[in-house]
Structure 1
C-alpha cells in the first residue's frame, strides 16, 4: 500500500486539533503517517499532539519557532516519507473515506499528479450543517479542472478553485516544483498550485461525496482576514508575471494584469483613506503609469485625499 503523508501545520489551534486528528485516525485507509508541525504555539497544541502520538505511532509531533503556514508545511515535507501528500489545516476535517477513495483513483490513473475533490463548509459547533460556500449558502464556486497546460493555468489564474485540504498530491510533483513560498503569509496554496500548473502537472477533479473535506468557519480562521489575503494575492500575482510571459500564456497574462489593476486600486484607496498617504499616492501613480489613464487616477487620488481630510476634520471636531 502506498504511504500517504498527512501534514498538519498548527498555530494556537490546540482547541481544535483533537477533532482534526480524530478525523485522521478514523480514515478507512490505514497506510498513512501524520506530521503535526507546531508553528510556535503558545497554547496546548503540544499536549494534544503528543497525547495522540502516544496512542498512535503513525502520528508525529515537531515544534518550530513561529514562521508561518508555508514554513510549517515545508518543515513537514522535509520529514515526510509518503508517496503522496495530504495537506490538512489544523481546524478542518477529513471525511472517513477521503484517503481511500482518492488513492484508489490515483493508482488507477498514474498520469494524474493532483487529484482533488469537493468540500463543504461548516460553522464551529454545527458539524452536521454543511454548505457549499463561505456564506453557508448553495453557491458552487469550485470549477472542475481536468488535464494540464495552458487551459489549467488560465483557469487557476482567474481565482483559486482548489482548497489545499481537498487534494491528494504526488510527492514526485512536489519535489519537482518545490515547497511553499515562505514570503507569503496567505494565498501560499494558490501560488503553489499555479507553480504546479506551470510545471505541466496533470490535475483531475472528482466529486465523490465520500472524499469531501470539511472546512470549519470560526472567528479566528485565516479566511476571515480579507485584508491580508488581498495583499498576498497582489504580491503573488506580481511574482508570477514573468513565468506567464516565459511560456507565452497571453490570455492568462491579460487576466492576471486585470486582477493586479483591480487589487492595486483597492490597495490605493485603502492606504489613502487610512492615512498611509505616500503608499496610496504611489499606488495611484503606478495605476496611472501602467494604464495611461493619468487624469482618471489622479482625480481618484485627489478624491480620496479630500475624503481623508474631511474625515480628519470630523474626528477633530468630535474630539
Structure 2
C-alpha cells in the first residue's frame, strides 16, 4: 500500500546537517510516510549517511544523480514519490513532531484546502521566531514570505507542471511555485504555530545571491505572471515597499544597497526603474 505522505529531501554536501534532519522525520507523530533522500551530486559523505538510514528504516529511500540544482532535484524526487501529499524538506531543516499529523488531519477534513504550512523557529547563526502571514497572492507577488516546508496535494504539483526549472538562478523555485498555486486560487491553510526549525548559515545558497542574480530571478517571475502584476500593480508596489528593508538586509554581505521603485509597467518587470549604490 502506498504511503499517504511523501517527504522530499534534496541533498548537496549535507553531511553536517542531514542526520538531524532525518531524525526529525522519524520522530513524527504521523508515521504513514516515505522519505526520499535525493543526492544532487554531493562530493562529501552525504551518500554514506543516507545509506545508513535506509538500512535503519525501509521508509527511507535513496536516489543519487548528477548535480542539477534545487528545482530539478525536487521535481525528480516528487516524480518518484508515491504519496498523495508532498512535503519538501531541506536537508538542514528539522520538522516539529506534530506538524505532519496536524496537516494531514486538516487536509482530510477540508477537501478544498491545497496547502498547509506554519511558522518556523530559527536555529544556527540566528535564533527566534519566523512568524508568517496568511497566504495572499498580492503579497506573494511582491515577496516570498512562506518557506518551501509546507505540505501540498501532489495533484497540484502535476497541475502547475512542477517547480520551475528555467529560473536563471536556483533558490526562488518555491516562491514561483506558491505564486503558481495562488493563480489557480488554491486555498492555503496557516496552522499559526511553529511547524519546523529553519537553519541559518552564512554558507546558505540564498546568501550567495548578488543583486544581479536576484534581479534576473525577479524579472523571470514578473514576465511569467505579468498579467497578475498588471492586475495587482498598486497592491504589489505597497507590499514591496514594506519589504524593501528585508531585501537590503539580505544583501549586506555583498556590500550593496538596492533601491527599487515601482514605476509605470514598461516592458515586463514590475521593478521597472532601479539603481544600485555601494555602501
| Fold match (TM-score > 0.5) | yes
In structure 2, what is the Cα distance between the partners aligned to 1:115 and 1:235?
A: 29
Partner of 2:216: 235
Could you say which residue in structure 2 is the equivalent of 1:205?
190
More strand by share: 2
Mapped to 1, the partners of 2:121 and 2:104 lie a distance apart of: 20
Q: Counterpart in 1 of 2:205?
A: 222
Contact 2:9–2:35 (Cα < 8 Å) also in 1: yes
**Pair member with larger Rg:** 1
Q: Greater CA deviation, 240-249 or 110-119?
A: 240-249
| Secondary structure of the structure 2 residue equivalent to 1:113 | strand
Q: Deviations over 1:21-49 (max 9, x none)?
A: 01001111110000011010000000000
2:129 corresponds to which of 123, 129, 132: 132
Structure 1 runs (4+) deviating above 6 angstroms are none
State the alpha-carbon separation in 2 of the partners of residues 231 and 201 from structure 1: 32
Report the 3-state secondary structure (helix = DSSP H, G, I; strand = E; otherwise coil) of the residue aligned with 2:31. Answer: coil
Offset from partner CA, 1:159-178 (integer Å, 9 cap, x none): 1121111x110111111012
Q: For residue 134 of structure 2, what is the aligned residue in structure 1?
A: 144
Q: 1:153 Cα deviation (Å)?
A: 1.7
Q: Deviations over 1:256-311 (max 9, x none)?
A: 69969x8xxx9xxxxxx99xxxxxxxxxxxx99959xxxxx8xx79xx7xx9xxxx
1:98 CA drift (Å): 1.2
Q: CA deviation at 1:197?
A: 0.8
Residue from 159, 162, 167 that aligns with 1:176? 159
Greater alpha carbon shift after TM alignment, 43-52 vs 184-193:
184-193
Q: 1:187·1:232 contact (CA, 8 Å) conserved in 2?
A: no
Change (3 A) 1:231 1:100: farther
Q: Secondary structure at the match of 2:17?
A: helix
Match of 2:145 in 1: 161
| CA 1:84–1:258: 2 relative to 1, 3 Å | closer
Matched pairs, number: 257
Q: Render the CA deviation track for 1:195-222: whole Å, top value 9, x for unaligned.
A: 111122111211134xx11011223222
Counterparts of 1:41 and 1:248, CA distance in 2: 38
1:192 paired residue number = 177
Counterpart mapping for 1:286-301 below 5 A: 290=266
TM superposition score normalised by structure 2: 0.80
| Structure 2: stretches of 5+ with no match in the other structure | 249-254, 257-262, 268-272
Alignment partner of 1:250 is 2:235: no
Q: Distance in 2 between matches of 1:27 and 1:131?
A: 22
Structure 2 vs 1, CA of residues 14 and 250 (structure 1 numbering), >3 Å: closer, same or farther? same
Superposition deviation, residue 238 in structure 1: 2.3
What is the rounded CA distance, in whole Å, between the counterparts of 1:19 and 1:233 in structure 2?
A: 30
Structure 2: distance between partners of 1:214 and 1:156: 22
SS in 2 for 1:52: helix
CA contact (8 A) 1:157 1:256 kept: no
For structure 1, list consecutive stretches of 5 or more residues without a partner in the other structure. 134-139, 146-151, 267-272, 275-286, 292-296, 308-319
Is it true that 1:122 corresponds to 2:123 in the alignment? yes
Task: Provide the secondary structure at the position in 2 that maps to 1:57.
Answer: coil
Task: Report the Cα distance in structure 2 between the residues aligned to 1:30 and 1:153, rounded to whole angstroms.
Answer: 33
